[in-house]
Structure 1
Amino acid sequence: MNLFRGVQDRRHAKALQAELEIVEGGLLENLTFASPVADVPARYLLNAGGKRIRPMLTLLASELGSGPNELVRRAAQAVEITHLASLYHDDVMDDAKLRRGVPAAQTVWSNSIAILAGDLLFARASTLVSGMGEEAILLQARTFERLCLGQLHETVGPQPEDEPIPHYLQVLADKTGALIACAARMGVMFGEAPLEYADPVMEYGERIGVAFQLIDDVIDLSPKKEQTGKRAGTDLRAGVATLPLLLLRESAANGNGADAELLASIDAGVDAIAAGADPALLDPEVTALREHDVTRETEATARRWAEDAVGALDVLPKSSVKRALERMAESIVTREG
């Protein structure tokens, strides 16, 4: 995903890239620990790379005002460190094997060390925000609460009174959208942009976050391992409920016999893999789900969320920044890895 795709002016793109490099240097500095026991695992996922969508959005949103400054860069670092911290915890809870093309942290060390590394990052993010004022502290705290609630609701699953698909979309909004929304609002806050831009850019951020995760559900089924960095159907084989699978369940429950048959085959394969069978057992079902209409419907849903995100920006004046934000939403739903 090219973060600078939407920045049409070459000098503007170059200036943003320079700012992002400053933020990257700050991330390295803030994730350096005196204790060697903490230092290596704490920087592990940072060194593995990443798209840096959140800090880029903070920098871009700040340009709705006076542009990047020390507080904007600090906010960008705090948001990205919070994101990295959540990945350590997510991978332990999901028993993930890979993250960003490298072994997940808990497979290199242990669950306990991965959890503590994540805790260290949360602490560093809080330290960064602590000197930025009460509003920033409260925003970070509320965002962290939503991250936890999203993970809790995902772990427990929908309750009898919950519709599975709306429940899933709310989990995505909490786990992913909330932090991207926070990144955008901090850019407005510390870039001293007009206050009336704060809520629209937050809505934009939350909606592109959901769109991002929905496209991830589609990418999970992609056979292009060189682009995705993982085997097609990794989530499906692990029994993770993604939107294509939830839509298939809904169709089967509504009496579609062919979909019920495919769903039964997927469920049986997931159970067999959990019991030690070769993951290749599900290859035909992964292909069938990739080619199914539910995957096209997932793509269409992601596009609707991205379009609604762009619609939230209507209050913003026409500018290169607004166009860059619009193109960022577009690039999220057209990416292949």
Structure 2
Amino acid sequence: MGELNLTSAVSFMVSIQDDLRAVETLMRSQADERYPDLQSALDLLLSAGGKRIRPTLTLLAGKMLRAKGEPLLHLAAAIEMLHTATLVHDDLIDGSLLRRGMPTLNSRWSPGATVLTGDYLFARAANLAAQTDSIPVMKLFSETLSIIVGGELTQMFSTRCKADRTNYYQRIYAKTASLFETSAKSAALLCLTSELHTEALRAYGYSVGMAFQIIDDILDYTGEQATLGKPIGSDLRQGLVTLPAIYFAEMHPEHPLTINLIEGNCIQDQDVLDELIGAIRSSKAIQQSHQEAIQFVETALNHLSIFDPCPERLALEELAHHVVDRKF
């Protein structure tokens, strides 16, 4: 497999293309030569992999604070390897056969082999984090992994099918925003900067991560099935009530379709589900959700304002705007 294709990189990534390629090389080197199937799996996963937003965030934050090159590269690779490992397990749990239009690992391998591959990637991610030689970074890394796994357990066993804002925010923090938060904060920890700067970057990462997941949840309703690789409204079909459905329920509390969401009753009838998903798609709930994502981005930009103007800060601002401008 070839390296990450950055020929169409968005503006905030241009200055760190060489660093991202180095991160990609580090990640691809993590497979044990004794297990060629692992190398094939890693190549498959990395070739399917997205824009590398999280390591980009780490690299830009670290460079803004003048972090040393090699530890920063290992940290960025650890962040993306952890993210990749979570995707392996997520796809298996959700039964997803496609991700970004490409076959998932569990569509080709047995559940046991898929779980073990995810476990191996978690272990290699921890090893990459350890190569930063930073105890605070390693501690934060392990705490983040616990938050992510705890969030998955909560999502699996907690109340489903209910429009609950508190539960929703807790869920998307654990699922997504916690790793964005760590992507930014760990770069600050690596630089031994002030607590003020560390907290500002943590808060920036948190806010960008919350916005990122809200946009993902909007796209679950507004995207095309061929692009998403799953049915429109897939989350609601699985009993996960995300922000567009919450806004719809709040705006139409008497609507026959939303009574189930308010009372927490899972809808089994596919025709009723299709009707509800269609109603959400055509309602102002989508616009309201997008506006909330924009508010998170505005908060993120406010946290960046304490840093001196520089190319990296500008790139981080562009990254935040990009998160809410995504179409897929």
Indicate the TM-score class for this superposition, using the shorter chain for normalisation. Answer: 0.7 to 0.9
Residue deviations 1:84-143, cap 9 Å, x none? 111111122222232222222222112221111110001101112223221121111111
* 3-state SS, counterpart of residue 257 of structure 1: coil
Q: Deviations over 1:56-88 (max 9, x none)?
A: 011100122225600000000001101111111
Query: 8 Å contact 1:81–1:125 — kept in the other structure?
Result: yes
Q: Secondary structure at the match of 1:311?
A: helix
Counterpart of 2:290 in structure 1 is 299
3-state DSSP class of the match of 2:221?
coil
Residue 334 in 1 paired to residue 325 in 2? yes
Secondary structure of residue in 2 paired with 1:146: helix
Question: Which range moved further: 101-110 or 197-206?
Answer: 101-110
Give the 3 Å change call, closer, same or farther, for CA 329–100 of structure 1 in structure 2.
same
- SS of the aligned residue for 1:129 comes to helix
Q: Which amino acid aligns with 2:101?
A: G
CA distance in structure 2 between the partners assigned to 1:65 and 1:104 by the alignment: 37
* Residue 10 (structure 2) aligned to one of 4, 21, 34: 4
Question: Do the aligned partners of residues 46 and 6 (structure 1) sit closer, same or farther apart at CA in structure 2, a change above 3 Å counting?
Answer: closer
Assess if the C-alpha contact under 8 Å between 2:163 and 2:241 holds in 1: no
2:71 match: 71
Distance 2:50 2:235 in 1: 20
Alignment of 1:1-337 (within 5 A): 4-6=10-12, 13=14, 15-67=15-67, 69-131=69-131, 132-158=133-159, 164-191=164-191, 193-225=193-225, 228-252=228-252, 254=253, 256-257=254-255, 259-260=257-258, 271-273=268-270, 284-337=275-328
On the 8 A contact 1:31/1:43 being kept in 2, the answer is no
RMSD: 2.9
Structure 2 residue aligned with 1:10: none
- How far 1:250 moved relative to its partner? 4.0
Displacement of 1:154: 1.5
Give the distance between the partners of 1:134 and 1:67, measured in 2 at CA.
16
Match of 2:3 in 1: none
**Change in 2 beyond 3 A, CA 1:58/1:143:** same
Helix, strand or coil: the match of 1:82?
A: helix
Quick one: distance in 2 between partners of 1:198 and 1:156? 34
* Pair 1:335–1:163, CA change in 2 (3 A): closer
Shift of 1:198: 1.3
Kindly state the Cα deviation for residue 309 of structure 1 after the two structures are TM-superposed: 1.5
Q: 1:134 to 1:228 in 2, by over 3 A?
A: same
For 1:147 and 1:190, the matched residues in 2 are separated by 22
- The answer for the alignment partner of 1:276 in structure 2 is none
Residue 285 to residue 163, structure 1, CA distance change in 2 (3 Å): closer
Listed as ranges, the gaps of 5+ residues in structure 2 are 1-5
Greater shift in the superposed pair: 226-235 or 167-176: 226-235
Judged with a 3 Å threshold, the aligned counterparts in structure 2 of structure 1 residues 301 and 211 are, in CA distance, closer, same or farther, namely same
Partner Cα separation in structure 2 for residue 305 and residue 31 of structure 1: 37
Separation (CA, whole Å) in 2 of partners of 1:218 and 1:176:
15
Give 2:139's aligned amino acid: L
Equivalent pair of 1:147/1:175 in contact (CA under 8 Å): yes
Aligned residues: 318
Unaligned runs of 5+ in 1: 8-12, 274-279
